[in-house]
């Protein structure tokens, strides 16, 4: 487990500089995208140039800031590159590259994919964090002194909000992310009058591979770890060091994060293999929803301190959501496939 990959240290910035750097980063990335498209460059080269432009643009802004004597400093404290945030970034970039390559094969404009991607990322982050905060509300309470000098855990707007914003340290719900991404992507697609389900199919394989990479971040971060191994000397048993997520125990456990990573890799190859054989728009995406839900249902049995409360005394909220989503996805696939087959038979009969 290695929650922090690259320690940077104490960082102090002027408040507005952060927003200026974000703005110029996006602006320079747009310049790079336009330049690469004008040159007819491939997707990988275009993204690489975009990253370089972002770094150069932000470096220029930072150097200008350092050369000026501006008031009102903002101390960000210890700034480090966390494993979870780093792997999440890698997952998003890899998913984007996979989707852009598939879009090129389907003759879909890369600009559409990039625009939808940014909408999805916003919905993904907001939805996944929001649902996690709802399910794990107690984690975001802060100690407050009450009468008599005693402390009580309460939700304090400023302090609790800052804890909620620290998503790079982990704490995202995949189910919430899927809902948020679908809503954000759906709104954009509807505004642009595009085929929602065709676009969803394009993103599905990248979602599966990106989720697999994201679980590596969970493993390095030490969150979402598994239950104790009955055989502590088993080759797959992992001893997570004491930390924010693992608590005091260091006994050998199931690497539940890696189990889910492998299952998502299998799902990725299944989706990739059947893409050309899909029967209707939305087929690949619905299959991803169904397969991921089944995988998540079984993985939950290996997770320690399951991701949410137990309902009906048998299953967790995450398992219940997985059952509902899996049934809906597979029923829709079966029903639409049946209608297409019936329509084909009637057409052949004519």
Domain-embedded: residue 152: no
Final residue of a structural domain among 72, 95, 114: 72
- For residues 139 and 52, the answer to whether their CB atoms sit within 8 Å is no
> Percent of the chain, pLDDT > 70?
69
Domain-embedded: residue 162: no
Residue 126 sits in the same domain as residue 85: yes
User: How much is the average pLDDT of 300-320?
Assistant: 73
Quote the distance between the C-alpha of residue 312 and its chain's center.
29
How far, in Å, CA of 175 to CA of 129, rounded?
10
Residue 214 sits in the same domain as residue 299: yes
pLDDT above 70 (res 227) = yes
How far, in Å, CA of 258 to CA of 218, rounded?
9
Q: Which residues pair with 310 in a beta bridge?
A: 316
Query: Mean pLDDT, the chain, as a whole number?
Result: 78
Residue 229 sits in the same domain as residue 284: yes
Residue 43 sits in the same domain as residue 113: no
Residue 260 sits in the same domain as residue 344: yes
Range of the domain at 321: 73-136+171-349
pLDDT above 60 (res 46) = yes
Confidence of residue 157 (pLDDT cuts 50, 70, 90): low
Domain-embedded: residue 163: no
Domain-embedded: residue 320: yes
What are the Cα distances from residue 207, in Å, to 204, 267, 272, 300? 5, 10, 11, 20
Domain-embedded: residue 81: yes
Q: Which residues contact 50 (CB under 8 A, 6 or more apart)?
A: 28, 29, 32, 33, 36
Which of 94-108, 124-138, 324-338: highest mean pLDDT? 324-338
Give the chain's domain count: 2
């Amino acid at each position: 487990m290695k929650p922090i990959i690259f320690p940077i240290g104490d960082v102090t910035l002027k408040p507005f500089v952060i927003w200026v750097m974000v703005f110029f980063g996006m602006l320079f990335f747009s310049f790079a995208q336009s330049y690469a498209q004008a040159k007819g460059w491939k997707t990988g080269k275009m993204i690489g140039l975009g990253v370089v432009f972002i770094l150069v643009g932000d470096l220029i802004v930072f150097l200008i800031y350092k050369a000026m004597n501006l008031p009102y400093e903002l101390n960000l404290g210890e700034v480090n590159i966390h494993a979870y945030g780093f792997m999440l970034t890698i997952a998003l970039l890899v998913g984007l590259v996979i989707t852009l390559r598939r879009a090129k094969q389907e003759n879909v404009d890369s600009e559409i994919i990039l625009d939808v991607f940014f909408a999805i990322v916003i919905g993904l982050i907001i939805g996944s964090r929001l649902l996690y905060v709802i399910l794990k509300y107690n984690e975001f309470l802060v100690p407050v002194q009450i009468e008599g000098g005693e402390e009580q855990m309460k939700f304090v707007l400023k302090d609790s909000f800052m804890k909620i914003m620290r998503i790079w340290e982990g704490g995202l719900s995949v189910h919430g992310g899927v809902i948020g991404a679908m809503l954000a992507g759906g709104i954009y697609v509807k505004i642009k009058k595009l085929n929602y389900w065709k676009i969803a199919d394009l993103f599905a394989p990248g979602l599966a591979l990106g989720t697999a990479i994201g679980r590596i971040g969970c493993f390095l971060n030490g969150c979402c770890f598994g239950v104790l191994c009955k055989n502590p000397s088993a080759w797959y048993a992992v001893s997570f060091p004491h930390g924010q997520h693992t608590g005091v125990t260091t006994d050998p456990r199931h690497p539940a994060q890696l189990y889910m990573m492998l299952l998502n890799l299998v799902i990725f190859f299944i989706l990739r293999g059947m893409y050309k054989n899909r029967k209707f728009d939305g087929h690949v995406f619905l299959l991803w929803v169904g397969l991921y839900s089944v995988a998540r249902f079984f993985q939950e049995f290996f997770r320690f301190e399951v991701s949410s409360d137990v309902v009906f005394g048998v299953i967790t909220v995450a398992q219940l959501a997985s059952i509902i989503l899996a049934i809906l996805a597979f029923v829709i696939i079966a029903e639409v496939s049946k209608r297409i087959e019936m329509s084909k038979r009637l057409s052949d009969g004519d």
